[in-house]
Amino acid sequence: MKKILVTGGAGFIGSHVVRLFANNYPDYFITNLDVLTYAGNLENITDLEALPNYEFVKGDITDEAFIDELFNSKNFDAVIHLAAESHVDRSILDPMSFVKTNVLGTGVLLNAAKKYWKNKEDKLFYHVSTDEVYGSLGETGFFTEETPYDPRSPYSASKASSDHLVKAYHHTYGLPIVISNCSNNYGSHQFPEKLLPLMINNILHSKPLPVYGKGENVRDWLWVEDHARAIDVIFHTGINGETYNVGGFNEWKNIDIVHLLCNIMDKKLNRVEGESAALITYVKDRAGHDMRYAIDATKLERELGWKPSLQFEEGLDKTIDWYLANDEWISRITSGSYKQYYDQQYTKR
C-alpha cells in the first residue's frame, strides 16, 4: 500500500485533493496533516473519517522534531505539499508568519524526505505552488513554465522561496520532485476571505461588497475540482524535476466577476435586478496589487492530457449553489478570528 502524506488537507484545495485520492485510490493510505489554523477546518473532511485508508493528524510543518518522528513512524512514499499561508492581505499585515510556514515549513519537510528516503526509487515530493511567483502581466501575454520569477508580495515571495528550495533539493540531493503553479481557485469549502466566497456571503446577507481600486485587476480562474484532477495527473504521470502550470483559461476582471455574481444571485434569491450590485463599494487598493495573471497550461495538456472540464460560468453557478446550501458552514467558520480581521480590513476603510 502506497503511503502518502498530504499537508494542508483540511484547507480549501487540500480537502478536495485528499477526498479525490482517498476515494479513488483504495490501495493508497492517505495521512492528512494540518495544523488547523483559521483556514483549516475539519468540517471540510468529515465525509472521510470512516474510510479505512485515511487518517487525520494534527501538527505543524515547522516543528522539526514532530515532522522527523512522523516520517520515521509512517514511512511515507510520497508527499503532496499544500500547507501554506495563502492570503495576500494577511501577508502584508504579518509577513513573518508567511516566511515561517511557507519557507521554513517547506524546508523542514524537504529535510525529512531527504533523511528518510534512502532509496529514492518510487518516491515523490510534490510541491503545490501559485502563479503569483511570476509577478504581474501587462494587457497581453501568459505565464509559462519558463517565465522568470518576479514575486511582488510577501505571500508570493514566500512561495517563490519554497519553489526554489524544492528545486535545490532536487538538484543537490537528487530528491524526486514535481512542482505545479496554479491560477486562482474557486469552488466549495473556500474560507470567505477570498473574493468569490466573500462576495457570495456578503450578497446573501446584504453587506457591502468591497472591491479594490477600480476592480480592473485580471485573474485566471480555475475550478478547484479541476485543480485536484490536475494534481492527480501530475502526481502519477509528471516527469521528475519538472514544473507544470495549471490554469482554467478563464480570465476575468474582478469587477466583471462581481457584477456577474450579483446578477446570478439576484435571480437565485428572487431579488430585484440590480439590488445586489448596489452593494458594491470601492475601497483603497491593496498595496502592490498585481494587475493581471494569466496561465498558459499548454504543457500540462500537451504532455499529460489534462484540461479543465468546466467553463467559468458553469463552475460559478455550482459554487454559488454550494454556498447558498451551506450558509451555516460559513457562519460557523466566520464567527471567530476572521470576523475581527474582516471588520479591520474592509468595513473601516
Q: What is the pLDDT of residues 311-327, one digit of tens each?
A: 889 999 999 999 999 98
CATH number, position 335: 3.90.25.10
Strand segments, DSSP code E, in the chain are: 2-7, 28-34, 54-58, 78-81, 124-130, 177-182, 184-186, 209-212, 218-223, 243-246, 251-253, 280-283
Q: Is the pLDDT of residue 345 over 70?
A: no
User: Could you give the CA distance from residue 237 to residue 224 in angstroms, rounded to a whole number?
Assistant: 20
Enter the DSSP assignment of 43. Answer: G
Assess if residue 21 is contained within a domain.
yes
Q: Is the pLDDT of residue 348 over 60?
A: no
Rounded-to-10 torsion of CA 276, 278, 279, 284: 140
72 and 89 both lie in a single domain = yes
Q: Is the pLDDT of residue 288 over 90?
A: no
Model confidence, pTM: 0.93
Q: Is the pLDDT of residue 334 over 80?
A: no
* Residue 325, amino acid: A
Assess if residue 347 is contained within a domain.
no
Active site residues: 131-132, 155
| pLDDT (0 to 100) of residue 158 | 97
The neighbouring-strand residues paired with 4 are 30, 78
Is residue 59 within 8 A of residue 66, CB to CB? The reply is yes
241 and 256 both lie in a single domain = no
pLDDT band at 346 (very low <50, low <70, confident <90, very high): very low
Assess if residue 86 is contained within a domain.
yes
Q: What is the pLDDT of residues 76-124, one digit of tens each?
A: 999 999 999 988 888 999 999 999 999 999 999 999 999 999 989 899 9
| pLDDT (0 to 100) of residue 194 | 85
| pLDDT (0 to 100) of residue 191 | 85
| pLDDT (0 to 100) of residue 342 | 47
Q: Is the pLDDT of residue 349 over 60?
A: no
319 and 176 both lie in a single domain = no
155 and 256 both lie in a single domain = no
329 and 182 both lie in a single domain = no
| Mean pLDDT for the stretch of residues 153-161 | 96
Structural domain span for residue 100: 2-186+221-246
Q: Is the pLDDT of residue 160 over 90?
A: yes
Assess if residue 297 is contained within a domain.
no
| pLDDT (0 to 100) of residue 340 | 53
Q: What is the pLDDT of residues 222-278, one digit of tens each?
A: 999 999 999 999 999 999 999 999 999 889 999 999 999 999 999 999 999 999 999
